[in-house]
Structure 1
Amino acid sequence: MIEAKSPAFWRATLALCCGSFMIFSNLYVTQPLLPEFQLAFGISTLQANASLALATLMLGLSLLVYGPLSDALGRRAIMLVTMAGTLVITFALAWVNSYTSLLILRAVQGFLLGGLPAVAIAYMGDEFSKKAMALAVGIYISANTLGGISGRLFSGFIADAFNWRASFLFAAGLSLVCVVIFWWALPKSKHFKPQQPSLKTMLKDLISHLRNPLLISVYLLGGLNFFIFINQYSYVTYLLAGEPWLLSSSFLGMLFLTYLTGTWAASISGRVALVVAQPLCMAIGIGFLMLGSLVMLIPSVVAIIGGLLINSFGFFFCHSNITSWVSRQASTARASASALYLVFYYMGASTGGFYLDPFWQAMNWQGVILGSILVFIITLAISLGLWRKDPRTLSDIT
């Protein structure tokens, strides 16, 4: 097994982080461009948001395929092939002539983007010791946040300097570098034990996970948190692009630098979970989400940025603990268990806009915050219920 802080640990973690960086920079590259799409194609806010929602929806659905498939065929090849496909689609997006074509390509891209998230945690579960995995998951989630930040940041600046098409070209170049590093650095699996491909077995594994009350509870918790968190960023983009602020795409892209507190939160989550039960860590993260949302009610750009910083810390602190906890709770078919969590996670991301849009239309930004708090009350209750059922820390287990 790969032990924590060994040369093999750092090489494998580097590869997975580069892959994660690429996936999430491509997924979120369109988010600062939503106002640009409105102007270029003459569409509504909800239609513009479809460029993100459709990609996250297809990513979520693809996990039902990649997770079970990797249990049968292995992890590394699936991650590499889907990353290469993502690179090709990103390049093609720069040349579309209609919004319909853009959405079709984003749907295909979303399906390919699911290959690495569905498999990466299972690869760690196969190859890393428990201690190494607890550390690696936090670093891996940090790369998720850095990818999300970078994709949004460079797309905003490049769109202002050139146009939105140039943002996709830059993303394609960056993706090529990540694919090469991933191919070179990721060790081949040594402890993977393939299962015979069987649709019946795949369905049986998925049903088994859904019947596990500890897993289904945390699936709902993570999905509902992301349901709100990611779509708050979309609506704050519309808020600050309008009166009285009229902020540019470059500044809107810079809003996603607030993810840096999430990067820090993810990196420390494994260490905190050694002394604090993971469900309680989840509850603490949700508390930060509620606090940050309330801070954003203050009508000031500084307050909104402060609220986003708090929200990012809370969300990724919670998400990192959920990711590790799911793998620990699944005694078999870990890839399927992790993939099923991400299905709920990305389904939440793709549907949250439909939930928040009526609040936005009725009460503007105040409505978005009201809708957010209502959902966070539910997820807080779920996390506290899980804490009562599983009060152990990782130090208790190891």
Structure 2
Amino acid sequence: MIVSGSSAFWRATLALCLGSFMIFANVYITQPLLPMLAQAFEVSALEAGWTFTVTTLTLGLSLLIWGPLSDALGRRWIMLLTMGGATLVTLMLSFIEHYTAMLALRAVQGVLLAGLPAVAIAWMGDEFEREAMLVAVGLYIGGNSLGGISGRLIGGFVGDWLGWSNAFLVMTLVSLFCLVVFALLLPESRHFRPQPLKPGRMLADLGSHLRNPVLLLAYLIGGFNFFIFINQYSYITFVLSEAPYSLPASVLGMLFLTYLSGTFGSAISGKVGQKLAQPLCMALGVLILMTGTLLTLSDTLWLIIVGFLVNSFGFFFAHSSASSWVSQNARHARASASSLYLLFYYTGASCGGFYLHPFWERLGWQGVVLGSLIVLAGTLTLSLVLYRLQQTRLAAAPA
């Protein structure tokens, strides 16, 4: 098994972080472009948001395919092939002329982008020792946040400078670079044990994970946190693109630099999780996320930015804790268990905009904050319930 701090640990972790960076840069590239796309294709704010929503939705659903497939066929080649396909779709997006074509390609891209997230943490579970995995998961999720930042910066700056289509062209070059380095660095699997590809067995594995309250509560916490967190960014772009702020797409893209605090939050979550029960780490992350959300009620731009910095730290701290919790507590079929977590996670991202939209229509940004706090109060409660369940199980375990 790969131990923390070894050369194999750093090669594998760097490869998976680069892969994660590439995936999430592609997922989020359209987010700072939403006002520009709404104007270019003459669609509403909600319809423009579909360029993000459809990708996260198909990504989430496809995790149910790639995760179980990797349990049977192996992890590495699924990651490589799906990353290559996603890069090709990004290139195609730079040439489309109709909004329906963009939505169709973004849906296909979501299917391909699901390959690495469905498999990466399961790969770590196979190859890393427990301590190494806790550290690697935090760094890997840090790669998620850096990818999210970079995708939005590329979308914002290149879109503002050269137009939205060239933003996809630049993203193609970035993706190709990440793919080549990933292929060179990631070691071959040494401890993977394939399971026969049996659809009945796959469904049974998924069903058993869903019946396990230790996993189900983590799925709900991760899904509903993301349900709120990511869609706050979508609505704040419309707030800040209008008076009195009137920020262009390039500056809106810089708002996503607030994800850097999330990179730090996810990176330290593994260390904190070695000293504090992981359900309490999840609860702490939710409390921080609620605090940042309240800060965004200010009319002052710098306080809004501080609010999103706090949000990002809290969200990724909780997400990293929940994600590693799932992999550690799955009794079998780890990739399937991780895939279910991510299904809840990305389904949350896809549905949160629809939930928040009525709040936005009636009360503006204050309504988005109200809707957010209602859901976050629920995930905080679930985190504490999970902690109580963990303590009950520890007390019942034989000495």
TM over 0.5: yes
Taking the TM superposition and a 5 Å limit, the aligned residue runs for 1:314-325 are: 314-325=314-325
Deviation at 1:244, TM superposition (A): 1.5
Question: Which deviates the most, 147-156 or 383-392?
Answer: 383-392
Q: Distance in 2 between matches of 1:154 and 1:27?
A: 12
Residue matched to 2:279: 279
1:152 matched to 2:152: yes
Q: Distance in 2 between matches of 1:38 and 1:103?
A: 13
Q: Which letter does structure 2 place at the counterpart of 1:366? A: Q
Deviation at 1:331, TM superposition (A): 1.2
Contact 1:16 1:120 in 2 (8 A): yes
Percent identity for Structure 1 against Structure 2:
59
Residue matched to 1:169: 169
Residue matched to 1:337: 337
Residue matched to 1:384: 384
Residue matched to 1:117: 117
User: Which segments of structure 1 move beyond 3 Å, counting only runs of 4 or more?
Assistant: none
Residue matched to 1:239: 239
Contact 1:277 1:391 in 2 (8 A): no
Taking the TM superposition and a 5 Å limit, the aligned residue runs for 1:213-228 are: 213-228=213-228
1:72 matched to 2:72: yes
Q: Distance in 2 between matches of 1:148 and 1:261?
A: 12
Q: Distance in 2 between matches of 1:55 and 1:155?
A: 16
Q: Distance in 2 between matches of 1:273 and 1:146?
A: 22
Deviation at 1:243, TM superposition (A): 1.8
Q: Distance in 1 between matches of 2:41 and 2:360?
A: 22
Deviation at 1:245, TM superposition (A): 1.1
Residue matched to 2:46: 46
Q: Distance in 2 between matches of 1:384 and 1:9?
A: 33
Residue matched to 2:297: 297
**Gaps in structure 1 of 5+ consecutive residues:** 393-398
Q: Which letter does structure 1 place at the counterpart of 2:198? A: S
Residue matched to 2:26: 26
Taking the TM superposition and a 5 Å limit, the aligned residue runs for 1:96-115 are: 96-115=96-115
Residue matched to 2:326: 326
**Gaps in structure 2 of 5+ consecutive residues:** 393-399
SS of aligned partner of 1:390: helix
Residue matched to 2:310: 310
Contact 1:326 1:337 in 2 (8 A): yes
Residue matched to 1:368: 368
Residue matched to 2:85: 85
Instruction: Provide the aligned length of Structure 1 versus Structure 2.
Output: 394
Q: Distance in 1 between matches of 2:203 and 2:326?
A: 18
Q: Which letter does structure 1 place at the counterpart of 2:217? A: S
Contact 1:67 1:119 in 2 (8 A): yes
Q: Distance in 2 between matches of 1:12 and 1:294?
A: 39
Q: Distance in 1 between matches of 2:160 and 2:195?
A: 50
Q: Which letter does structure 1 place at the counterpart of 2:110? A: G
Deviation at 1:218, TM superposition (A): 1.1
Task: Please give the root-mean-square deviation of Cα atoms over the aligned residues, in Å.
Answer: 1.2
SS of aligned partner of 1:247: coil
Residue matched to 1:94: 94
Q: Which letter does structure 2 place at the counterpart of 1:127? A: E
Q: Which letter does structure 2 place at the counterpart of 1:386? A: L
Residue matched to 1:395: none
Q: Distance in 1 between matches of 2:337 and 2:116?
A: 15
Deviation at 1:19, TM superposition (A): 0.5
Q: Which letter does structure 1 place at the counterpart of 2:260? A: L
Deviation at 1:390, TM superposition (A): 1.4
Deviation at 1:74, TM superposition (A): 0.3
Residue matched to 1:13: 13
Contact 1:279 1:391 in 2 (8 A): no
Q: Distance in 2 between matches of 1:79 and 1:352?
A: 28
Q: Distance in 1 between matches of 2:344 and 2:144?
A: 17
Q: Distance in 2 between matches of 1:327 and 1:274?
A: 15
Contact 1:232 1:368 in 2 (8 A): yes
Q: Distance in 2 between matches of 1:53 and 1:243?
A: 26
SS of aligned partner of 1:255: helix
Q: Distance in 1 between matches of 2:389 and 2:261?
A: 30
Contact 1:25 1:150 in 2 (8 A): yes
Deviation at 1:391, TM superposition (A): 4.3
Q: What do residues 38-75 of structure 1 show as CA deviations (whole Å, max 9, x unaligned)?
A: 11000001100000000000000000000000000000
Q: What do residues 237-278 of structure 1 show as CA deviations (whole Å, max 9, x unaligned)?
A: 010001211100011000000000000001100000111100
Q: What do residues 96-124 of structure 1 show as CA deviations (whole Å, max 9, x unaligned)?
A: 01000000000000000000000000000
Q: Which letter does structure 1 place at the counterpart of 2:91? A: F
Q: Distance in 2 between matches of 1:286 and 1:299?
A: 23
